[in-house]
Amino acid sequence: MKGRLTPYALLLLMGAGWGVSLPLSKIAVSQGYRPLGLIFWQLVVSSTVLGVLMLATGRGLPRGRRAWGMCVAISLIGSVLPNSASYEAARFLPAGILSITLSMVPMLAFPMALGFRTDRFSAARLAGLACGLIGVALIALPQSSLPGAGMALYLPLGLIAPAFYALESNVVAKWGTGGLDPIQILFGASLVGLAFALPAALVSGQFIDPRPPWGAPDAAVVLSAMVSAVVYASYVWLIGKAGSVFAAQVSYLVTAMGVLWSMVILHERYSGWVWLAFIVMLIGLALVRPRDETPLEALPADACESDGICQTSPEGI
């Protein structure tokens, strides 16, 4: 029983961690910092945290073309591109609205998972995703709609990151992590990201001078990067244990926790529809259960032929 509850407990912690990163992103862009500069320093902090974990646990650097290929893929579709869009969207949209857009991750991940053949169709999962969609709709009703005129124009920008996160979860579930564990692949991805972000920030004029005086945006970047490094590693591990669609449900919790953190930190206020949506999202979460972790060797010889899908955990997770 304890083992069955572990994915849910981890999901809750991940939701709280990623949820707080949304108001922190809003703070980070509050005084003129732009995405590429923020991403570079976020990757510096993340690679430092992950590097310490690598040394403390005796892990080696990624080796081989396949391993570094996955690091490049994770860096681009899981960090540089979605984070660029998120920081830019944070300039125009409230943190709570960004929390809502992240709920699109499982809705985009589900059809991708079917297309990638990394998950089975399930009526219960479909119902769970429907509950999530209803929850998002409850938050987005006119009573709690966008607070400023013209903000709707920036909603597509807020949907870019969820699309990349959905793609990333399915890429990991489909092709594994190149034999790397979560810490190794995220450390490698951070190094690759730095190679992209530094010249891009310099050329675009978005580089952030690290010398003091430091303010709230600088503290927000450091704290967000440290939290994200730990939570991100947990996310990659959870994909291998419970499947990409289940892991993507963290976006529902990110929505709820992001709204709560935004109320506490940024003093944003929302209607009672938010609390009703939160209940509906929890129902949806309960309907999306982790897949059975049956070893491949224990499956009948015709198991894959009978349902068309062979479920295995990604390498290294």
CA distance linking residue 154 with residue 147, whole number of Å: 13
For 95, half-sphere exposure in the C-beta direction (CA atoms, 13 angstrom radius) is 28
Is the CB of residue 285 less than 8 Å from the CB of residue 245? no
Which residues, including other chains, have CB under 8 Å from residue 281's CB and lie 6 or more apart?
103, 131, 132, 135, 252, 253, 255, 256
Q: Which range is most confident: 61-65, 75-79, 133-137, 210-214?
A: 75-79
Kindly report the pTM of this predicted structure.
Answer: 0.77
pLDDT tens-digit map of 288-312? 655 544 332 332 333 333 333 333 3
Q: Where are the alpha helices (DSSP H) in 180-249?
A: 182-204, 216-242, 244-248
What mean pLDDT value characterizes the chain? 79
> Residue 217 is encoded by which pair of tokens?
């945006």
Q: Where are the alpha helices (DSSP H) in 62-181?
A: 65-75, 81-90, 95-101, 104-116, 123-139, 155-158, 160-175
pLDDT confidence tier of residue 31, bands split at 50, 70 and 90: confident
Please identify which residue in the block is written with the tokens 């303010």.
215
Q: How many CB atoms lie within 10 A of CB 160?
A: 17
pLDDT tens-digit map of 221-233? 889 888 887 887 7
